[in-house]
Structure 1
Amino acid sequence: MKVMIVLLVPLLVPFVSAQTFRWGPCPTPMVQPNFDLNQYLGKWYEIEKLPASFEKGKCIEANYKIKPDKTIQVLNVQTYEGKVGTAEGTAVVKDIREPAKLGVRFSYFTPYAPYWVLSTDYNSVALVYSCTDVLRLFHVDFAWILSRTRTLPAKTLSQAKEIFSQANIDVSKMFPTDQQGCDVPV
């Protein structure tokens, strides 16, 4: 087992440099009770996040809408080095008994990754968590604080981080997304 860990660590260093990884399996936090997907749809702005290699820009937003096949279109937009980039994916409700536990993917060649809505009031703030176990030795996790506006009051951010912490999710490396100057054409 030690040999396997020694061999894996050098291979994983580039992967985890822009991610947050922790030893042990993923936590299993509670999700939003009675989650209503229709109220959640629409535009959300990223306010803070754990490091994610696929999100290096500013003015990051996510747009969700139901597609004709009843899956959810996910359209992420960000500005990076002066250029607006998009990533389109698909989300699905994995189990109708737990509608706040979605799966999302951005390529047909990848499995669905967890996208769990831990808490939302639908009108101003949402807390989202994703975690993937790697051989149950460690996990890579992502967490986002989203808002319907480009800013949130400090008190709301503090309360959001407390909810993550109570769910055993370490958000000490969470940092703000630059949402300044986003409504001006690039």
Structure 2
Amino acid sequence: MQKFASLSIILFVCFAQTKAFSIYGFGFGTRCPTTPIIADFDQDKYLGKWYEIERIPMIFERNLQCVTAEYGKNDNGRVSVKNSGINLAANKTSMTTGEAFVPNQSEPNKLVVEFPNQILFFNVKNQGNYHVWSTDYNNYALVYSCNIYLGFIKFEAAWILSRSKDISLENSNKLKELLSSNGVKTSTLETVNQTCNN
């Protein structure tokens, strides 16, 4: 049993050195950047449709292009979430729905998003951080998510969003500078194709 555990650790460390590990948001780390608090964050202004322009590659977005996120208001006061995109490998539309909420009203730009999932016969909810680092509501938004697992495995995601299918170089550079200044490697960002017929 001890040999098996040692082998598992060795295999994990080897995998952690591969590109696949790093491009899917995983790496080694013990701390997440501190989310800047937007005290006057206006959730109503943020609602609506956003286009995904750049992202840190995520396994759940593999092969997805022309990705959009649409936010609305549910009757329970939570934010409705509808993410959709075109899976180029399968040539079909992929869509998932969920909802988001603000756990601490003094930090209104720090949301938690929930997506329903089924594992075997059990219905579960996948939760993730959805922290809006910057937005002007009308043109751009920067969203970041980070978690630490087992005390040393860091998972982070970032999305540069736009109200249109492209973004100005000025706004793109500004958001990337914000990421860089907080220790997030912008070299891992990939551009999302927004030229599909949707």
Structure 1 and Structure 2 fold alike (TM over 0.5) = yes
Q: Report the Cα offset of residue 61 of structure 1.
A: 0.2
Contact 1:117 1:129 in 2 (8 A): yes
Residue number in structure 1 paired with 2:119: none
1:60 and 1:177 in contact (8 A); partners too: yes
Q: State the partner residue of 2:40.
A: 34
**SS in structure 1 at match of 2:75:** coil
Tell me if 1:6 matches 2:10. Answer: yes
**Separation of aligned partners in 2, 1:94 and 1:101:** 8
1:91 aligned partner = 100
Q: Aligned to 1:32, what secondary structure does the other structure show? A: coil
Q: Hey, which bits of structure 1, 4+ residues long, moved more than 2 A? A: 2-18
SS at 1:115's partner residue?
A: strand
One-letter code of the match for 2:67? I
Distance 2:181 2:39 in 1: 16
> Cα offset for 1:17?
6.2
Encode CA deviations 1:22-78: one digit per residue, 9 max, x unaligned: 321222231434111111000000000001111121110000011001111100010
Shifted more, 162-171 versus 41-50: the winner is 162-171
Q: Quick one: which of 155, 175, 178 aligns to 1:140?
A: 155
- Say if 1:92 and 1:163 are closer, same or farther in 2 by CA, change over 3 A: same
Find the counterpart in structure 2 of residue 19 from structure 1. Answer: 24
Match of 1:152 in 2: 167
How many Å separate the matches in 1 of 2:164 and 2:170?
15
Preserved CA contact (<8 Å) 2:39 2:106: no
Alignment of 1:166 with 2:181, yes or no, is yes
Is residue 180 from structure 1 mapped to residue 189 from structure 2 by the alignment? no
Q: Distance in 1 between matches of 2:197 and 2:171?
A: 22
Q: Whole-Å Cα distance in 1 between the matches of residues 102 and 20 of structure 2? A: 28
Residue 80 in 1 paired to residue 87 in 2?
yes
**Distance (Å, rounded) in 1 between the aligned partners of 2:74 and 2:196:** 31
Q: In structure 2, do the counterparts of structure 1 residues 171 and 17 end up closer, same or farther at CA, with 3 Å as the change threshold?
A: closer
Tell me the CA shift for residue 88 of structure 1.
0.5
* Structure 2 gaps, min length 5: 117-122
Structure 1 length-normalised TM: 0.88
Instruction: Give how far 1:7 is off.
Output: 6.2
Contact 2:21 2:27 survives alignment (8 Å): no
Stretch moving more, 46-55 or 18-27: 18-27
- The AA in structure 1 aligned to 2:180 is S
Greater displacement, 115-124 / 147-156: 147-156
Following the alignment from structure 2 to structure 1, what is the Cα–Cα distance between the partners of residues 143 and 39?
14
Q: In the aligned structure 2, how far is the partner of 1:96 from the partner of 1:145? A: 24
Name the SS for the 1:123 alignment partner: coil
Aligned to 2:68: 61
Structure 1 residue 47 corresponds to structure 2 residue 53: yes
Q: How many pairs align?
A: 182
